[in-house]
Amino acid sequence: MRSGLECGYGRKSGASKRGGVIMASVTLEHEINPWEAQAARFDFAARKLNLDEGLWKVLRYPSREIIVHFPVSMDDGRIEVFTGFRVQHSQARGPGKGGIRYTPDVNLDEVRALASWMTWKCAVVNIPFGGAKGGVICDPKKMSMGELERMTRRYTAEIIEFLGPEKDVPAPDVNTNEQVMAWIMDTYSMHMRQTVTSVVTGKPINIGGSRGRREATGRGVSVICDQALKYLRIQRDGCRVIVQGFGNVGSNAAHLLQEKGYRIIGVVEYDGALYNPNGIDVGALMEYRQRNGSVLGFKEAEAADSDEIFTSECEILIPAATENVITSRNAERIRAKIVCEGANGPTTAVADEILTQKNVFVIPDILANAGGVTASYFEWVQDRQGYFWKESLVIEQLEAILSESFDAVMRYSETHGVNNRIAAYMLAIDRVAFTIKQRGLYA
């Protein structure tokens, strides 16, 4: 796997025949393992940096992995035992930061990878956090609100000694939201015997949440798209965009982009897709989905095959749902000029190699979707100050940080002759490694 990456990364375009052989020999199961993908990219970037071997070992693995098994009383009187994870990858630059997801298939490798990505994401945008991530194996769609609350509170209690404003600050992720963060904050506060709003971010505004936080990840995607068009000298007006995933990130990104003059021609969801070459009214679609729970049946766009729309011709493709949607099976068919990763880990390492050969301008997740963690940083700061900002200030600061970060990644890409993802990794690893050198090792 690593030698295949070495063939593809490190060049603006083209790849050796040996790279194709390596790609063909990688099994799909190995390709889509998120931890393997993260580690391969880290190794390549670290090698390009000539990173000290000792620091390489320190940064390659999480500093702490927590697995808990805990009982919860269900509504029908049964006792169910759930498994939860919290992985803290690095706290060299500040407290751990990362979401908590509730899904039936979340696993330790996935959480490890996401925690590592959070370390690099926070370093890319230069905010004082390290990386962490959490998850509970469950299907929230089959649970009542009462069951979700009891599970959330028990999970919080099981890992409480590792949480705190100066230790590890969770946030919403897949299938978690403001309400879940409120339960975590309240549980932590009850144990501390004082209200501690800064223990989580992504909370309701009336209990310490930040204005602009809910839309921040999608807004960040829109800002990065603006910067990419400027960098590539592509006109914004009428720029065709396809969005995969119409949840919080995808819908907000699409709505904000449409307001700026982009044309949203396709929306891809798990249960189908919509297409309108003249542009989809995103505001109307958001209202329709809110009412009906699905985008299917929306009259102002044609129903279409998801795979066909995902690989349709456009200027920008935004994968904004889950991991591993661009793989060796479909990367060759991607016809977008720009892939802006609204989701975490949507492109596998092997697919990256194929997109590099095709000269697709990939904006990696650790830059493209960093608007969420940046706004979470603002929320954490506001909670600790007890002073809350106007939404206009949140937006202004968010746009400034993301624009500066995009420029920094492009400079690394040009200076080192690597693609954008490896440039972002190199920038992030360099910043974290420098901090560790400054702090020294406690022994």
CATH code at 184? 3.40.50.10860
Token duo for residue 83: 């498994």
- Same domain, yes or no: 26 and 84: no
Which residues does 75 contact at the CB level (< 8 Å), separation at least 6?
144, 146, 147
| Strands of 96-129, DSSP E | 96-103
Which pLDDT score is estimated for 26? 58
361: alpha, beta or left? (left if phi > 0; alpha if psi -120 to 50)? beta
SS3 337: strand
Domain of 89 in residue numbering reads as 62-197
**Nearest-angstrom CA–CA distance, 374 and 125:** 7
Residues with catalytic annotation? 133
Among 146, 123, 138, residue whose Cα is nearest residue 49: 123
What is the model's pLDDT at position 398?
98
223 and 190 housed in the same domain? no
Interaxial angle between packed helices 420-439 and 34-49, expressed in degrees from 0 to 180 and rounded to the nearest 10: 70
Model pLDDT, residue 11: 33
Q: Are both 78 and 167 inside the same structural domain?
A: yes
Tokens found for residue 252? 């907000």
Q: By the 8 A CB rule, do 95 and 165 touch? A: yes
CA distance 402 to 124: 9
- Total domain count for the chain? 3
Q: Are residues 173 and 238 in the same domain?
A: no
| Closest to 225 (Cα-Cα) out of 205, 250, 195, 191 | 250
- Is the CB of residue 313 less than 8 Å from the CB of residue 237? no
Domain boundary among 302, 334, 368: 368
Phi, psi angles (nearest 5°) of residue 134: -145, 170
Q: How far is CA 396 from CA 210, 371, 399, in A?
A: 14, 12, 5
| Residue 416 located in a structural domain | no
Same domain, 356 and 237: yes
Decide the pairing of beta strands 168-172 and 96-103. parallel
pLDDT value of position 23:
43
Both tokens of 371, joined, read 């608007």
Residue 255 and residue 155 share a domain: no
Question: For the chain, which ranges sit under pLDDT 50?
Answer: 1-25
In a domain, 114, yes or no: yes
Specify whether 99 is located in the same domain as 152: yes
Query: Do 154 and 286 have their domain in common?
Result: no
Instruction: Specify whether 236 is located in the same domain as 289.
Output: yes
Establish if 337 belongs to a structural domain: yes
- pTM listed for this prediction: 0.90
Alpha-carbon distance of 231 to 251, in angstroms, equals 25
Give the C-alpha distances (Å, rounded to integers) separating 266 from 8, 29, 253, 269, 320: 30, 29, 13, 10, 13
User: 151 in a domain, yes or no?
Assistant: yes
Length of the chain: 443
Whole-number Å distance between alpha carbons of 189 and 182: 10
* Domain-located, residue 417: no
pLDDT value, residue 36:
86
| 167 and 32 inside one domain | no
Helices 34-49, 349-357: crossing angle, 10 deg rounding: 60
pLDDT at 10: 35
| Residue-level pLDDT at 323 | 86
